Amino acid sequence: MKLLQEKLSKYDLPQKAKAAGIYPYFRMIESDQDTEVQINGKKVLMFGSNAYLGLTNHPKVKEAAIKAIEKYGTGCAGSRFLNGTLDIHVALEKRLAEFVGKEEAIIYSTGFQVNLGVVSCLTGREDYIIWDELDHASIIEGHRLSFSTKLKYKHNDMDSLEKQLQKCEPDKIKLIVIDGVFSMEGDIAKLPGIVALAKKYNASIMVDEAHGIGVLGKQGRGTCNHFGVTDDVDLIMGTFSKSFASIGGFIASDKETINYLRHNSRSYIFSASNTPAATAAADAALDIMLNEPDRIERLWDLTHYALDGFRGMGCEIGHTATPIIPLFIRNNDLTFLIVKELFDAGIFVNPVVSPAVAPQDTLIRFSLMATHTKAQLDQALEAIQTIFKKHGLI
């Protein structure tokens, strides 16, 4: 056996979980991504999706994707930089820029590639990237590729952020990169405080709106809009794989910044462009977001109902204020076991364990869609209460 294979063969955590019957990953869904899905012939309620507005099955979204394939084919066979730019890419970019309140935007083929390609190339060797300790992995991978000095601050802690800003040389670029809504914990970034500190220390701000768009702000325009600080935030990132019911992502900013990224961001220049179907689907989802505000209202009705239910039964849910609800278990093996027991009871939820979080912070991520019914939510709450009581968590 070669040295590489010898080293990798020692990694056996998945095998152990499978042997114990509690392996929770790569569960094959045999149906559409809806509030109820089919896995191994069994119907289960889906409370592990990021499709907050429930648009993956919307007839207008599916119709737009089909028509795009009929007109443009299935792919672009090249990068945006060369032969892969379609008129629908450019049209959607203009709409997205207007939607989030910026001058221009560019589309990447995934949200991960946005953060990878933007964070890694904006700042230089003598500059600084300041990031929240609970930022998404794509932000972390992006700043790992940068030659800038990286400074981490405690989650949503403005005193900690200010201490890190004080370490920076005043005449160097300082870029604060944060999630608008934190993807596992469901809490919202303290953007007003971050903006105040950015002004005090002449720093720039990039906000990842992956879990904010479609959820917060007027017509789902995101966290920046929610707090009224759009003009104070320099870059706004979004993904298509959540509320936009597609795949891809974008970055929006001023003309000069977008021009630089368009010609220097490696994950943009050297990746194949977003497929016609994905682009058209995201565009149709944006139409629905703008024209069906009742969907967002419905999502928030369900969110408040769920939060009241979890608090009422005594679950530990942290500081969440969104449709992402963490149910803290604080034990890896128990988290896996409870996910299995909930699945057996007809409820699909996601485990979040170390190394994604510290071992003492393991949790179950429970997320809502606007298309859930209260009857479905009641069924999930009842199952969770029964199983959590069984394990002494409530």
Q: What is the residue extent of each domain of the chain?
A: 14-46+293-390, 59-291
Among 143, 190, 211, 226, the active-site one is: 211
pLDDT digits (tens, 9 = 90+) for 335-351: 999 999 999 999 999 99
Question: pLDDT band at residue 355, thresholds of 50, 70 and 90?
Answer: confident
Could you tell me the fold of the domain covering 14-46+293-390? Aspartate Aminotransferase, domain 1 (3.90.1150)
> Catalytic residue among 49, 109, 183, 204, which?
183
Residue 92 makes CB contacts below 8 A (sequence gap 6+) with 107, 279, 282, 283, 286
Query: In Å, what is the CA distance from 235 to each residue of 91, 113, 119, 169, 250?
Result: 20, 15, 10, 22, 10
Residue 224 pLDDT > 80: yes
For 324, the token pair is: 């992402």
Matching residue, tokens 């994604």: 356
Alpha carbon distances (Å) from 359 to 49, 82, 355: 23, 46, 7
Angle of helix 276-291 relative to helix 87-100, nearest 10 degrees?
30
Same fold, 14-46+293-390 and 59-291: no
Residue 271 annotated in active site: no
CA distances from 173 to 129, 169, 170, 198, 280 (A): 8, 8, 8, 11, 37
What's the token pair of residue 129?
A: 């990237």
Active-site residue, 391 included: no
Residue 1 has pLDDT above 90, yes or no: no
Nearest by Cα to 384 from 336, 333, 346, 330: 346
With 0-12 / 13-18 / 19 or more C-beta atoms within 10 angstroms meaning exposed / middle / buried, residue 332 is middle
pLDDT band at 16 (very low <50, low <70, confident <90, very high): very high
Residues in the chain: 394
Instruction: Write down the CATH number for the domain with range 59-291.
Output: 3.40.640.10
Alpha carbon distance 152, 218 (integer Å) = 31
Helix axes 293-313, 276-291, angle to 10 degrees: 80
| 42 among known catalytic residues | no
Token digits for 264? 């220097």
| Tens-digit pLDDT profile for residues 167-213 | 999 999 999 999 999 999 999 999 999 999 999 999 999 999 999 99
* Percent of all residues in the chain with a pLDDT value above 70, rounded to a whole number: 100
Interior/surface letters 282-297, b for 16+ CB within 10 angstroms, e for the rest: bbbbbebbeebeebbe
Question: Residue 336's Cα: distance from chain center in Å?
Answer: 22
Q: Which one from 102, 174, 242, 372 is the annotated catalytic residue?
A: 242
